[in-house]
Structure 1
């Protein structure tokens, strides 16, 4: 069962989040005191120059990177109280992630790729639910095709279906149209916002495209690991 946030509370809360990583030039402050909240159902665009910390911010929200200090809470769960297995289960139940590179399993069909998170969660009918989700993204005739048999736009739609099939409370999208041509990218983003509206899933979108970010209900800019006013 999905853990719903308490009414009136943010779905995502980051408080004074720092992330320091070692490099040949010394310690780098990748995130430098981030304070950010995301409301349930909100669409948030994250913009900024390359290397500013945008993608790392998404990784922290997903529990894939642990901050050096500060607090991260999503859907009422404090990430500091969860071990790696607990974070993995939390992502399975609450978070969908879409990357620029589609990260599909090449030896699995579209149907099998989308069914994976449901199988891991013990869903009663993972393949039936996966087929329904692929139909929603316009791929009902491509269920049994492998990623190598699909176009880039079709692969990204499979990735979207996989991210949405558990109906997560939070969807994190990192440059999801970066490997697509303009028309295909716009079609994928239309689908992303449609799914967001249909399920009330909060969307955090990292993009270099200001016009795309402007479709979100709110935009924040990250520079040098900080959110700029």
Structure 2
């Protein structure tokens, strides 16, 4: 099955200085189970492309299919339901709920999905991320690396078919970032998920099955993309 099929995708935003073309006709197909690194200069549209693939940003034009579903035709509620059932999204800034413990943060999407053993599954995911004994800690009581592990556990707990990660090591030191990378690829393998990873790190992109470079709003696949990434 094809996880993603993007055809002639455009994204244009209106700014005070006029229209800004972020993406200019991106074509991309990603097969289920693949890992894809997305690289390119700052401001090239990498994160915008990921947000479109997650249904968190609307393409101005073009077709965006995820697991055969047309994201451009869905309303906000349908998109939220589709993400909840099929996607795990990991951000650079963690986006944990500060008033919830680690266990509550991970179990929240499971409870929304009506999973009966939400807390047991959330606890198991935290253990898999090396956070056993930290379940009752709030985000402010955790290190940056621990917070990102909680975010990974939250993404992993619904057992998603697709994992989308936007600079997941960007706020971490090199040693902690390496541990998060290991956890991210372990998450993908445990669920047989498709992984799309936006990164500035050439070594991280090179771990993926494929590397896509975004430049001037367009995408091209090249084995040199990871080495040349800024």
- TM-score w.r.t. the length of structure 2 is 0.94
Indicate yes or no: 2:72 matched with 1:80: yes
96, 101, 115: which one pairs with 1:109? 101
1:140-179 paired onto structure 2 within 5 Å:
140-179=132-171
Residue 26 of structure 1: how far off its partner (Å): 1.1
Q: 4+ residue runs of structure 1 moved beyond 2 angstroms? A: none
Contact persistence 2:24–2:217 (CA under 8 A): yes
1:53-72 paired onto structure 2 within 5 Å:
53-72=45-64
Name the residue aligned to 2:228: none
Residue 81 of structure 1: how far off its partner (Å): 2.4
Name the residue aligned to 1:131: 123
Q: Which runs of 5+ in 1 are unaligned?
A: 1-8
Which SS does the other structure have where 1:140 is aligned?
A: coil
174, 179, 204: which one pairs with 1:212? 204
Higher mean alpha-carbon deviation, 74-83 vs 90-99, is at 74-83
Which SS does the other structure have where 1:114 is aligned?
A: helix
Which SS does the other structure have where 2:5 is aligned?
A: strand
TM-superposition CA deviations, 1:136-186 (whole Å, max 9, x none): 001111000000000000000000000010011111100000000000000
1:183-202 paired onto structure 2 within 5 Å:
183-202=175-194
TM-superposition CA deviations, 1:185-210 (whole Å, max 9, x none): 00010111111112111100000000
Which SS does the other structure have where 1:161 is aligned?
A: helix
Partner Cα separation in structure 2 for residue 119 and residue 137 of structure 1: 20
Partner Cα separation in structure 2 for residue 50 and residue 10 of structure 1: 28
